[in-house]
């Protein structure tokens, strides 16, 4: 009997006893390739000796000190590293305990920025449908994942959603990428005007959409267009790179490939690679300057903000990522993974799309390839694929409601930056087999 309330109490997960490299091992000795890094977290794999040593050394110095009294060396050094790796102006780091907390922090920081500047009416957040920004009530409230919102709907703030940038399903027939991006930017502007520009605080978006729709990249130029809309109306741009940041998509920050710089940037999963729980917000100079020259204090905080051991782990992880040139490795391995997925599944009658960037790739399933129609949501195809893949020794990250929160199934892969081509090849074969077995179940 377990006393843990698991996500699925009637079918608790197996016990894992150890992890090495790209693999986890359960109590029965079975080996699993961690093809999704858990939830795009374990970017350095498992059991990395340098990270473990950094944690142990910090535990021997100081394990915890509340930030109302002290800072710590790893917290200061990590902030300096993140600022150095970011564009000029994006230079101030506020720590959190998770991605959800990082998003909550950014929302509060955006609100206080406007209040400090004498615009207290700015409180509304605009976000996109088919987005996911976290599971706290604030983050869930702005998110566009209908399934995750449903149970808590009465408790959530009224959302202000605009369309996702999801060309496969939402671009009009005959519409070019340029026209599509322009149309979406126009929709954002019309939403700002309808709400009242003096009431809108920020627009938040995942640079590359993760769990909700499966590694969806925006069309070229989209983020430049929405950045211009935000600047015209004094709205802050918050980019959520909790999943896609810190090398995952083949550049250190995912936004580098979009030609924009956010006002606030949310990070988490790849920050400490799962060796410790930590998130962060990187704020631009002008946001922090408004607070410093106003009340002089950011009205927010949690007990474990800037935890010394978590910061030590994250510092070690980021130093390894930069020292070993891992974003470039991710770009190369990502192309190999994409090619392997296309070769193995590109002609599959129930694969409608293979997409992504770097080691952040997804396969979308369709009931009919010609029409692009999705499977009946009641079949829970994505969950079946997860189960069959796990039985075969592959950890992947499937999702349902890919298209509109109800219809569509996809499988996300986000393996370690230290994986290699043979491991990726084997993972693709396992995934293809799992997809076929799950499809046989629903046939």
Tokens of 337: 């993974």
pLDDT of 142 above 70:
yes
pLDDT in tens, 214-230: 999 999 999 999 999 99
pLDDT in tens, 7-28: 888 888 888 999 999 999 999 9
Cβ–Cβ < 8 Å for 286, 263: yes
Tokens of 102: 């990082």
Distance between CA atoms of 190 and 234, rounded to whole angstroms? 14
pLDDT in tens, 375-391: 999 999 999 999 999 99
Q: What is the mean pLDDT of residues 138-158?
A: 90
pLDDT value of residue 13: 87
Q: Which residues have CB under 8 Å from 416's CB, separation 6+?
A: 21, 22, 34, 37, 42, 43, 44, 45, 359
pLDDT of 437 above 70:
yes
pLDDT value of residue 231: 98
Statement: the pTM of the whole predicted model exceeds 0.85: yes
C-alpha to C-alpha distances, 26 to 29, 367, 419, nearest whole angstrom: 5, 34, 20
pLDDT of 425 above 70:
yes
Tokens of 16: 């894992």
pLDDT of 61 above 80:
yes
pLDDT value of residue 219: 98
How far is residue 417 CA from its own chain's centroid?
16
Q: What is the mean pLDDT of residues 110-133?
A: 97
Distance between CA atoms of 239 and 226, rounded to whole angstroms? 12
pLDDT value of residue 394: 98
Residue 176, phi then psi, degrees to nearest 5 = -80, 165
Residue reference for tokens 């090849």: 425
Q: With 0-12 CB in 10 A as exposed, 13-18 as middle and 19+ as buried, what is 337? A: buried
pLDDT value of residue 55: 98
Per DSSP, what are the bridge partners of residue 356? 361
Strand order in the sheet with 200-206: 90-96, 279-284, 264-267, 236-240, 200-206, 124-128, 161-162
pLDDT value of residue 431: 98
Closest C-alpha to 350, from 326, 374, 384, 319: 374
pLDDT value of residue 351: 97
Dihedral of CA 213/125/229/207: which sign? negative
pLDDT in tens, 62-85: 999 999 999 999 999 999 999 999
Average pLDDT, the chain: 96
Q: What is the mean pLDDT of residues 108-123?
A: 98
Q: What is the mean pLDDT of residues 200-205?
A: 98
Cβ–Cβ < 8 Å for 27, 405: no
Distance between CA atoms of 43 and 217, rounded to whole angstroms? 20
Share of the chain above pLDDT 70, in %: 100
Domains in the chain: ranges and CATH: 16-48+325-442 (3.90.1150.10), 51-323 (3.40.640.10)
pLDDT classification of 1: cutoffs 50, 70, 90 = low
Distance between CA atoms of 93 and 310, rounded to whole angstroms? 14
Distance between CA atoms of 351 and 241, rounded to whole angstroms? 27
pLDDT value of residue 328: 98
pLDDT in tens, 89-102: 999 999 999 999 99
pLDDT in tens, 269-299: 999 999 999 999 999 999 999 999 999 999 9
Distance between CA atoms of 246 and 41, rounded to whole angstroms? 11
Q: What is the mean pLDDT of residues 44-64?
A: 98
pLDDT value of residue 120: 97
pLDDT value of residue 11: 81
Distance between CA atoms of 207 and 244, rounded to whole angstroms? 7
Distance between CA atoms of 108 and 375, rounded to whole angstroms? 40
Distance between CA atoms of 443 and 439, rounded to whole angstroms? 6
Dihedral of CA 111/113/119/122: which sign? negative
């Amino acid at each position: 009997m377990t006393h843990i309330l698991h996500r699925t109490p009637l079918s608790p997960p197996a016990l894992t006893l150890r992890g090495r490299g790209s693999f986890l091992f359960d109590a029965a000795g079975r080996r699993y390739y961690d093809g999704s890094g858990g939830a795009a977290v374990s970017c350095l794999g498992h059991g990395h000796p340098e990270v473990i040593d950094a944690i142990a050394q910090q535990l021997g110095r100081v394990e915890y000190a509340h930030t109302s009294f002290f800072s710590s060396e790893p917290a200061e050094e990590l902030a300096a590293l993140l600022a150095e790796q970011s564009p000029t102006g994006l230079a101030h780091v506020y720590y959190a305990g998770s991605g959800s907390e990082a998003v909550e922090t950014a929302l509060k920081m955006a609100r206080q920025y406007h209040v400090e500047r004498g615009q207290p009416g700015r409180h509304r957040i605009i976000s996109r449908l088919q987005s996911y920004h976290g599971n706290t009530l604030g983050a869930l409230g702005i998110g566009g994942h209908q399934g995750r919102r449903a149970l808590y709907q009465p408790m959530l703030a009224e959302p202000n959603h605009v369309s996702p940038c999801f060309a496969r399903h939402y671009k009009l027939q005959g519409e070019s990428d340029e026209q599509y991006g322009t149309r979406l930017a126009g929709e954002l502007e019309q939403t700002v005007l309808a709400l009242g520009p003096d009431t809108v605080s920020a627009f938040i978006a995942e640079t590359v959409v993760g769990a909700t729709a499966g590694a969806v990249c925006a069309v070229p130029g989209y983020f430049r267009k929405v950045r211009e809309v935000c600047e015209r109306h004094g709205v802050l741009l918050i980019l959520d790179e909790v999943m896609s940041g810190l090398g995952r998509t083949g550049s250190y920050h995912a936004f580098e490939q979009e030609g924009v710089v956010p006002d606030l940037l949310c990070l988490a999963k790849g920050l400490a690679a799962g060796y410790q729980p930590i998130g962060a917000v990187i704020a631009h100079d002008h946001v922090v300057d408004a607070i410093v020259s106003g009340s002089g204090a950011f009205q927010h905080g949690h007990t474990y903000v800037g935890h010394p051991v978590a910061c030590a782990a994250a510092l070690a992880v980021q130093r390894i990522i930069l020292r070993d040139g891992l974003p470039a490795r991710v770009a190369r391995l990502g192309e190999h993974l994409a090619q392997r997925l296309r070769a193995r599944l590109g002609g599959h009658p129930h694969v409608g799309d293979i997409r992504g960037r770097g080691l952040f790739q997804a396969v979308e399933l369709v009931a009919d390839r010609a029409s692009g129609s999705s499977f009946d949501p009641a079949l829970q195809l994505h969950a079946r694929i997860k189960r069959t893949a796990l039985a075969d020794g592959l950890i992947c990250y499937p999702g349902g409601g890919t298209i509109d929160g109800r219809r569509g199934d996809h499988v996300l892969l986000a393996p370690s930056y230290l994986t290699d081509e043979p491991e990726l090849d084997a993972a693709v074969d396992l995934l293809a087999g799992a997809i076929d077995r799950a499809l046989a179940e629903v046939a």
